[in-house]
Chain A
Amino acid sequence: MPTDANRQFLDFEKPIKDLIDEIASMKHRQEKTKLDLSDTIQKLEQGILDKRKEITENLSSWQRVQLSRHPDRPYTLKYIDKMAENFVELYGDRNVKDDKAMVGGFASLGGETVMIIGQQKGINTKMRQMRNFGMANPEGYRKALRLMRLAEKFNKPVITLIDTPGAYPGLEAEERGQGEAIARNIYEMIRLKVPVICVIIGEGASGGALGIGVGDKVFMMENTWYTVISPESCSSILWRSWDKKEVAAEQLRLTADKMLGFGLIDGIIPEPVGGAHWDYDGAAQILKNYLIPVIKQLKEATPEERVNTRIEKFGKMGFWEEV
């Protein structure tokens, strides 16, 4: 969790930074002059909360995308650390290697064992490279599938936390069958006998997201996006220019409220005021409280009922006309 001194700010978060700076200088003055400025400081602190609220209430789709990529945003391992106990991380796909862009393992959530799997982004330059910016290779998807099968064997629910700008478009990724790996995951996830809950916690880009994104319930956190292509790539292909990402984001209807309206997701998980990057504990607590009753509810159905409902749910998605 960043402190106020090393926090990073997006351009539209600038007014918050100004308030934080002002508080800092007030505190400095208070110390120097021994004058009691606590009233003013308290007002400024309230001002920060108001500002955080105000800013996230009026975001454009593109700003929402920016927030989903906020450098201070919590990633998968952070959520696991904050919401679960006894996490045992499991590595490797038993075939090629361990993909550091995909993490997972057993943990207890509210006293119950679950398998948590997700893409992992790095928290600094070195880690970002190690985590390949959250872009998994085929072995990452195969590692995820191995862990899901393990969960199925021991009848433990699966929770996936999705945060990826896409599956890695590399040479070795193609050699090792990136398409096949994602296809296999989608196919196996829809048939998985245990409850599967998927949550978009950051970026939900395309097949790279769906590769761990087929569940009984799919949720999006408030400041995330989920669609078939990143706004940047969409802009470059459909507008022949990299400059139309804002329009592309708008046109793609990639925000949580739109996705819920389309019936493509099952719910929106709120974040702390201003976004998850302001309060990791709060964000993880909200997520945990949201997941526990859903797991309970899903466990009431039989495996066959869950699989059939899952197939039917995705089977209904789409729009067409009959002429």
Chain B
Amino acid sequence: MAKQIEDFDANLAGEEGKTEETKSSWFKRIKKGINTKTSEKKETPEGLWVKCPDCSFICTVSELRESLFVCPKCTFHHRINSSEYYELLFDNNEFTELFENIRSKDYLEFTDLKPYKKRLEETWSKTDLKDSMRVAVGKVNGNDLVIACMDFEFIGGSLGSVMGEKFSRAVDYCILNKMPYMVISKSGGARMMESAFSLMQLAKTSGKLSQLSDAKLPYISLLTDPTFGGISASFGMLGDLNIAEPDALIGFAGPRVIKETIKKDLPPGFQRSEFILEHGFLDFIVPRKELKDKLAKVLLLLRN
């Protein structure tokens, strides 16, 4: 199916995109309703229906949740957040969150249309998140695993100092406890409001991966829709295994920029997981429903 070129630049600016696919907060509002205690009362039934952005299939949020936020009709993988991935992957949804006290600071006093400080404050109050990445440790089918997972709703999952620092501490934790490491990426790229500091996170995280590699501990990079810019130009593409969810948009330059540069339409399927795999940059593509078992299988193989 032909998809619109997504404008995740808008998410990087801390705003919502205009295309159907990026209206994640619309989806989030409904979903959030499910997560909160009051929603269990099912007060507003019309808020509990979700329309698939790909095939327009309508189902309830609980149906969707049961199918791991994969459209029951067309297998479109809805964007989900760290809490959903943790629930999906960790046994009995039991995990310990690590380094949750670190949050962004507006060191540069960066101001675009809004001061960065204000943008952060708004995002903190709008979400339950402190930044665009959470780190947690738990078990996946009995295997220990540290999972760092991005949240797209926090300024487009952008890579800034906090993500870099949490990533680094997660690697230290893995080395100390001899555990494998997995990162679930979902990001438009670097956080421009942190300027060169955000760029340097590419080097910072690569240095840590080098230490993890010397400790012979596995690093699995799961790329989900979308993964771009600084993420794919650093740890996103540096996994011992690089894997992806189906049909995820993955690349270095965004499709809009490429289209403007080459002044041609982009071929169908360009920068989708299947395209990335065919060009040799992914080890495999895994549907969300098979993710946990396949991950556990890999962890077991690497351990024994």
Contact = CB atoms under 8 A, between A and B. Distances in A.
Interface stretch (A46-54, A169-177, A281-289): A169-177
B242 to A, nearest CB: 8
B204 A237 contact: no
B107 A319 contact: yes
Contacts of B267: 171
Interface in A203-250: 206-207, 210-211, 213-214, 226-229, 233-234, 236-240, 248
A119 interface: no
A310 interface: yes
A177 B196 contact: no
Contacts of B271: 174
Interface string B133-146: 00000000000000
18 contacts: A168-B261, A170-B253, A174-B251, A175-B279, A177-B237, A178-B233, A187-B210, A190-B206, A191-B210, A210-B200, A252-B192, A253-B196, A311-B208, A314-B204, A319-B197, A320-B162, A322-B101, A323-B103
Contacts of B202: 183, 186, 207, 210
Contacts, number: 198
A180 interface: yes
Interface size class on chain B is 35 or more
Interface size class on chain A is 35 or more
A184 B199 contact: no
Contacts of A314: 200, 203-204, 206-207
Nearest to A190: B207
Interface string B71-84: 00000000000000
Interface string B248-264: 00011100011001101
Given A173-B253, A210-B203, A311-B210, A183 B196 contact: no
Interface stretch (B19-27, B37-45, B108-116): B108-116
Contacts of A319: 105, 107, 161, 194, 197
A259 B103 contact: no
A315 B195 CA distance: 17
Contacts of B103: 320-323
B190 interface: yes
Across the A-B interface, the 8 shortest Cβ-Cβ residue pairs: A179-B232, A318-B161, A169-B253, A311-B207, A238-B112, A179-B252, A319-B107, A178-B252
Contacts of A226: 196
